[in-house]
């Protein structure tokens, strides 16, 4: 499941981001929403499954170091080039992150990734995060997709986001393109993972965290959920 989605996201798509304006404000909103969670200027931060992270420099300005972990090789190459001049930012593979010693990070964020993982993959990753976090660290899991009305909520959220940021027309055309897209085909074939609030809290508790749901989700889609978790 994960490897198939990684291959899909390893290239730019007009399906996921309807135009460059959408791509830019999407990543700007995510960086803006994540930055306040960074605990201190001395924090060591991991953004796991960072994607293109166009505005990761905003996060890096709030911490001592930032690791962008990305599985897609083409995306990783772009990240390495984009942030080559920022000494605070390092790009790694998930395998490199897994090999790091315990307590390597004070803050870990995984945004809009859980839906592309199988349940065993998610459980294994949460256990790895528990090891990588310091005892007083914070894990933020954002954009968790609930089972009910997820597609409709995503479409409405995109149109509202487009209207607020000057790309409503492109958003409507983009939604029309999805009908014949590889994205929709992959969703039908391999699916996405969905969690209700209680289900995600149970996964975090089983991995050794004390967790709660945040008041607002990171990003523009407030039908999805963000969870805050600290090691027990």
The pTM score is: 0.92
pLDDT of residue 137: 98
Domain count along the chain:
1
> What is the arithmetic mean of pLDDT over 140-161?
89
Burial class (CB in 10 A: 0-12, 13-18, 19+), 216: exposed
DSSP 99: T
The pLDDT score that the predictor gives to residue 13 is 63
Question: Does residue 134 contact residue 43 with C-beta atoms inside 8 Å?
Answer: no
Q: Is pLDDT at 181 greater than 80 in this prediction?
A: no
pLDDT band at 203 (very low <50, low <70, confident <90, very high): very high
pLDDT at 88: 98
Which tens digit of pLDDT belongs to each residue from 86-132?
Answer: 999 999 999 999 999 999 999 999 999 999 999 999 999 999 999 99
Q: What percent of the residues of the chain are helix, what percent strand, and what percent coil, each to the nearest 5? A: 45, 20, 35
Residue 178's domain is classified under what CATH number?
3.40.50.150
Range of the domain at 140: 2-231
The Cα angle at residue 30 between residues 108 and 50, in degrees rounded to 5: 50
């Amino acid at each position: 499941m994960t490897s198939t989605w990684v291959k899909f996201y390893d290239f730019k798509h007009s399906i996921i981001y309807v135009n460059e304006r959408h791509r830019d404000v999407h990543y700007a909103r995510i960086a803006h929403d994540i930055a306040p969670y960074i605990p201190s200027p001395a924090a060591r931060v991991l953004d796991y499954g960072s994607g293109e992270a166009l505005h990761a420099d905003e996060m890096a300005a709030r911490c001592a170091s930032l690791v962008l972990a990305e599985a897609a090789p083409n995306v990783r190459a772009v990240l390495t080039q984009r942030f080559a001049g920022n000494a605070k930012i390092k790009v790694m593979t998930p395998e490199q992150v897994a090999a790091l010693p315990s307590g390597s990070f004070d803050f870990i964020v995984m945004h809009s990734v859980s839906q592309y993982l199988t349940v065993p993959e998610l459980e294994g990753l949460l256990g790895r995060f528990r090891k990588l976090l310091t005892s007083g660290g914070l894990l933020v899991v954002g954009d968790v997709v609930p089972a009910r009305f997820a597609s409709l909520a995503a479409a409405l959220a995109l149109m509202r986001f487009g209207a607020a940021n000057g790309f409503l027309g492109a958003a409507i055309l983009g939604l029309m393109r999805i009908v014949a897209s590889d994205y929709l085909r992959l969703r039908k074939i391999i699916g996405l993972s969905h969690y209700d609030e209680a289900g995600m809290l149970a996964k975090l508790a089983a991995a050794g965290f004390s967790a709660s749901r945040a008041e607002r989700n990171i990003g523009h889609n407030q039908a999805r959920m963000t969870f805050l978790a600290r090691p027990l």
